[in-house]
Chains A and B, each alone.
Chain A
Amino acid sequence: MAEIEFRKLAHSYAERPLSPVDYALKEMDFAWQDGGAYALLGPSGCGKTTLLNIISGLLRPSQGRVLYDGRDITALSPAKRNIAQVFQFPVIYDTMTVAQNLAFPLRNRRVPRAETQRRVGELLDMLELQPVADRRAAGLTADQKQKISMGRGLVRDDVAAILFDEPLTVIDPHLKWQLRRKLKEVHERFGHTLVYVTHDQNEALTFADKVVVMFDGEVVQLGTPQELFEAPAHRYVGYFIGSPGMNFLGAHLVSDGIGIDGTEIVLGGHWAAAARQHARSRLAIGIRPEFMGVSATPRDDAVPAKLVSVQDLGNFKLVRARLGPHEVTAKLPEDQPVPTDGAHLVFQPEWTKLYADDRLVA
């Protein structure tokens, strides 16, 4: 169990990186708390696995340092760092039985036999592998094989951290739930530092205390699921987290506030000062569909828009409206009446965010 810290960490797979494009991971400084459950969330190819392999030591970063509990371990091998890692596809030792597979990491570290048996027995029970404990691992199903892989990650209780690289990709949906709950259980019981890579936002939000959202080799936000939802620090976070994603409308600075591109609409309020500071940047305002107010009748604080469609999705309604060149989505509770011809959109100031060059400024 350890706190993981990155100092000026960056990595490039090119031998001589020339421009920022050559970097798979752009420079970052972070400290992840001991005992935290972190999810690394991002699209394929954003550098999640690269970062994970740097934490585990399979990959040596091209610059910067990695620290466990303040100790520099950048140069140490995975075995020396004492971490556990579970890979995307099941890795099992074909010639060993299930129990031997689970015991392997302990055997390599010369853990006493009795202790090994106790730990392996516990894991066999927890992962419900007891019935196949003495079977050869080679003949099992993909589900069971991945359970073995995860079991090997969990078998040592003195590890600095357990890293998961999209471990549930090959698992059936109903089993996914079960295993995720198991992991959560293990985390609460043993308090390991867990790092979990995924591209599935549900998985990330249900599993982790803190979600690290990555985009294009960069950590764009590190926060609780609530923070990611309420104040996305980057346009990508707004778009990736939540369903449907955040509405973004291009905007420009006008004398008395912010004008929405292509319309006569001007929003006043607290963004104006921030917008003036970023006058040269590409501005946009963003609002979550959940926070977008829709009124059937004109109001002082509402702007008129053209209704495009209303979809009733059972427990909520999805309203699409056209505001100049932009299409805006609002998510309304089931019982709220929906306008039939024109919609009047309310941009609640506390939920309307201003972005300059894709980053949250106010």
Chain B
Amino acid sequence: MNKTENNKAWFLVLPVVILVAFSAVIPLMTVVNYSVQDIFGPGQRFFVGDEWFRETLRDPRLHEAFLRQLLFTGTILAIQIPLGIAIALTLPTKGWGVSACLVLLALPLLMPWNVVGTIWLIFARTDIGLAGWSLAQLGIDFNFTGDPLHAWITVVVMDVWHWTPLVVLLCYSGLRAIPDAFYQAAQVDGAGAWAVFRYIQLPKLTGVLTIAVLLRFMDSFMIYTEPFVLTGGGPGNSTTFLSQFLATAAVGRFDIGPAAAFSIIYFLFILLFSWLFYTAITRISTGTR
């Protein structure tokens, strides 16, 4: 059989190939390139192999930032996911309240991230900010620029304010997709509110919750703008998370090599964790353990 060789159709893929090359592949390869070289200036570079990787992995400041990052991501996931589900369950299901609530909830998501940081920077100030001033009036010596704990609380509350609506919206859409017959059957079967949640709503939400957890994990693990504006990583290094650590190394000190090595480790770590999360959740929901 003679098969006509006609590969012209490949040209149709070309625009995408070019686009992806310039937006992802080439920048990533540049980073790989930097990570194995020591660069002193234009034309002055030496191949150093895996030295930057080993040095980066041994850096105690990085270890601290990494633990801080894990603590932060763990905290906001532990708050935002249950809170998001709880709010979604209490939202109205019909009438004008639906649109009102959805618009209000979507507002934080529509704000530019540095604006979010600025809002909370002002909001938390004890002299002119509503929250800071109120706390001060209550007799609490609130000082988010000086006290690491206060700084942490502020950053966490800001992130909860900023991103819980995403979880709420996802869960709300998941809840609306459950047919009425399920609730009716549960009512007939004499199930209480908790049983309805445990055996109908939660199982039906696993799909959207997987997406919510993944998105919130990835975004919070890469958080940069808001804490940068709000605390600048301080006081000390107490709110310096991984991406800020990276930015300080790359743009602040121009340690291009170690920063590139760290970028790659960072990237692989997020990839690995997202994959683990995804597999774990899908296994739980399909019952294959």
Contacts and interface: CB of A to CB of B under 8 A. Distances in A.
Q: Do A and B come from one complex?
A: yes
Interface of A: 53, 56, 58, 77-79, 83-85, 87-89, 91, 93-96, 104-105, 108-109, 136, 138-139, 149, 152
Given A89-B179, A136-B287, A108 B195 contact: yes
B199 interface: yes
At the interface, is chain B mostly helix, strand, loop or mixed? helix
A56 B188 CA distance: 8
A79 B188 contact: yes
Contacts of B195: 108
Contact of A93 (B179, B200, B287): B200
A230 to B, nearest CB: 37
Nearest to B187: A78
A89 B200 CA distance: 15
A108 B185 contact: no
Contact of A87 (B184, B200, B203): B184
Contact of A96 (B184, B185, B199, B286): B199
Contacts of B181: 87-89, 91
Interface string B157-193: 0000000000000000000000101101101111110
Q: Which of B187, B188, B191 has the most CB of A within 10 A?
A: B188
Q: Which of A78, A83, A84, A94 has the most CB of B within 10 A?
A: A94
Nearest to B192: A108
B132 to A, nearest CB: 45
Given A91-B182, A94-B204, A84 B190 contact: no
A138 B207 CA distance: 14
Contacts of A104: 189, 191, 199
B188 A84 contact: yes
A108 B191 contact: yes
A4 to B, nearest CB: 16
Given A87-B181, A109-B190, A138-B286, 4 more contacts: A58-B188, A79-B187, A105-B188, A108-B192
A138 B287 contact: yes
Contacts of B204: 94
B199 A95 contact: yes
Nearest to A153: B188
A88 B181 CA distance: 9
A13 to B, nearest CB: 13
A95 B185 contact: no
Interface residues of B, number: 18
Nearest to B202: A95
B209 to A, nearest CB: 14
A77 B185 contact: no
Interface string B109-147: 000000000000000000000000000000000000000
B185 A94 contact: no
B192 A95 contact: no
Contact of A91 (B185, B190, B192): B185
Contacts of A108: 189-192, 195
Contact of A79 (B179, B190, B199, B286): B190
A340 B195 CA distance: 71
B185 A85 contact: yes
Contacts of A94: 203-204
A93 B201 CA distance: 10
A35 to B, nearest CB: 20
5 smallest CB-CB distances across A and B, nearest first, come from A108-B190, A91-B185, A105-B189, A79-B190, A94-B203
12 contacts: A53-B184, A56-B188, A78-B188, A87-B181, A91-B185, A93-B203, A94-B204, A108-B189, A108-B190, A108-B191, A136-B287, A152-B185
Interface string B195-218: 100011001100000000000000
Contacts of B185: 85, 87, 91, 149, 152
Contacts of A85: 184-185, 188
A104 B182 CA distance: 13
A97 to B, nearest CB: 9
A109 to B, nearest CB: 6
Nearest to A79: B190
B179 to A, nearest CB: 7
A242 B88 CA distance: 51
Interface in B255-277: none
Q: Which of A58, A83, A152 has the most CB of B within 10 A?
A: A58
A272 B189 CA distance: 56
A188 B119 CA distance: 72
Contacts of A77: 187
Contacts of A109: 190
Nearest to B182: A91
B188 to A, nearest CB: 5
A78 B189 CA distance: 8
A18 B134 CA distance: 55
Nearest to B204: A94
Given A58-B184, A85-B184, A87-B181, A95 B189 contact: no
A17 to B, nearest CB: 20
Given A93-B199, A95-B199, A152 B184 contact: no
